[in-house]
């Protein structure tokens, strides 16, 4: 944040706090006697605000963001290879790379889940017909027809752990998520399901990515994609491609819609 944008930034963080219960610590200014830029840019704050506006509008109103998360402190940090991280009342975005609108919704979905003791992801798991069993997962990878090694995925097409149970968590997802890999579990499933719900056919900044996630399964095995590299897309179609390519027909879309509409009660 440079000197010319400082007033704008101050007004924006006040707006984020009042609208979404999002707290950003000001780390720019001249308190030390010389100007310090800080880790946030005007563009970062705009993207965060605009994406949370979009998120709120999709879940029943902008005030719902703060109600769902209970309020969060947001940081820019060195997260290694991760684009974002979240826990109860805390969200972090990588400082070494720009964050996307998708990452904002994904991490705020984690904060939503965390605020309810991670019960939302458990409810999603049950709603979609999934279950988690590390032992069964190991057995599946030992004697089944896995697409990963027993203890890790492999960095090559058809070996990244996309099939049910072929992941570190032993997560056997039900219905059809928009994707899976070695790190997929019910917590990641909930965050991705919320992002897909916000994105699907709404014409917002997340929508092209959501469409690409579904359309990749129409490609041939070994075909390269713009965003997702190379994999055995046609072979995975049975696990991930929804009826007529319409994500709204999945149980995940319906779960998030029921949650937003108050049809699912969290105790």
For residues 208 and 100, membership in a common domain is answered with: no
Q: What is the pLDDT of residue 31?
A: 67
d(CA 229, CA 223): 8
* Residue 265, in any domain of the structure: no
d(CA 75, CA 72): 10
Which of 115, 139, 161 represents a domain boundary (last residue)? 115
For residues 104 and 134, membership in a common domain is answered with: no
Q: Which stretches of the chain drop beneath a pLDDT of 70?
A: 1-3, 31-33
For residues 160 and 60, membership in a common domain is answered with: no
- 251 to each of 60, 130, 175, 206, how far by Cα in Å? 20, 11, 6, 20
- 222 to each of 84, 162, 234, how far by Cα in Å? 29, 15, 9
* Residue 127, in any domain of the structure: yes
Over residues 178-205, the pLDDT tens digits come to: 999 999 999 999 999 999 999 999 999 9
Q: What is the pLDDT of residue 151?
A: 97
Parent domain of 169? 119-260
d(CA 52, CA 101): 9
Q: What is the pLDDT of residue 83?
A: 92
> Could you give the strand order of the β-sheet that contains 72-77, starting from the edge strand earlier in sequence?
22-23, 72-77, 90-94, 84-87
Q: What is the pLDDT of residue 51?
A: 98
* Residue 267, in any domain of the structure: no
For residues 50 and 179, membership in a common domain is answered with: no
Q: What is the pLDDT of residue 3?
A: 66
Question: How many domains in the chain?
Answer: 2
Phi, psi of 141 (to 5 degrees): -75, -20
For residues 60 and 170, membership in a common domain is answered with: no
d(CA 75, CA 82): 14
For residues 77 and 179, membership in a common domain is answered with: no
Over residues 59-78, the pLDDT tens digits come to: 999 999 999 999 999 999 99
Which of 86, 115, 144 represents a domain boundary (last residue)? 115
For residues 235 and 223, membership in a common domain is answered with: yes
Q: Secondary structure of the chain: what % helix, strand, coil (to 5)?
A: 45, 10, 40
């Amino acid at each position: 944040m440079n000197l010319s944008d400082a007033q704008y930034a101050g007004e924006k963080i006040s707006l984020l706090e009042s609208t979404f219960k999002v707290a950003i610590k000001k780390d720019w200014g001249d308190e030390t006697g010389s100007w310090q830029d800080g880790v946030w840019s005007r563009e970062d704050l705009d993207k965060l605000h605009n994406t949370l506006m979009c998120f709120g509008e999709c879940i029943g109103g902008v005030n719902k963001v703060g109600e769902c998360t209970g309020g969060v402190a947001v940081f820019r940090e060195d997260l290694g290879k991760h684009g974002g991280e979240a826990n109860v009342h805390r969200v972090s975005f990588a400082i070494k790379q720009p964050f996307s609108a998708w990452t904002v919704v994904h991490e705020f979905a984690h904060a939503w889940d965390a605020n309810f003791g991670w019960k939302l992801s458990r409810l999603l798991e049950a709603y979609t017909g999934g279950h988690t069993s590390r032992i069964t997962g190991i057995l599946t990878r030992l004697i089944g027809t896995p697409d990963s090694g027993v203890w890790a995925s492999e960095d090559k097409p058809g070996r990244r752990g996309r099939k049910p149970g072929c992941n570190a968590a032993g997560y056997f997802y039900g219905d059809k998520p928009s994707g899976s890999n070695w790190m997929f579990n019910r917590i990641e499933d909930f965050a991705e399901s919320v992002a897909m719900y916000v994105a699907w056919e709404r014409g917002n900044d997340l929508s092209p990515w959501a469409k690409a996630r579904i359309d990749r399964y129409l490609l041939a095995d070994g075909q390269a994609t713009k965003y997702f590299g190379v994999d055995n897309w046609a072979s995975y179609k049975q696990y991930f491609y929804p009826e007529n390519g319409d994500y709204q027909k999945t149980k995940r879309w319906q779960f998030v819609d029921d949650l937003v509409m108050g049809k699912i009660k969290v105790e």
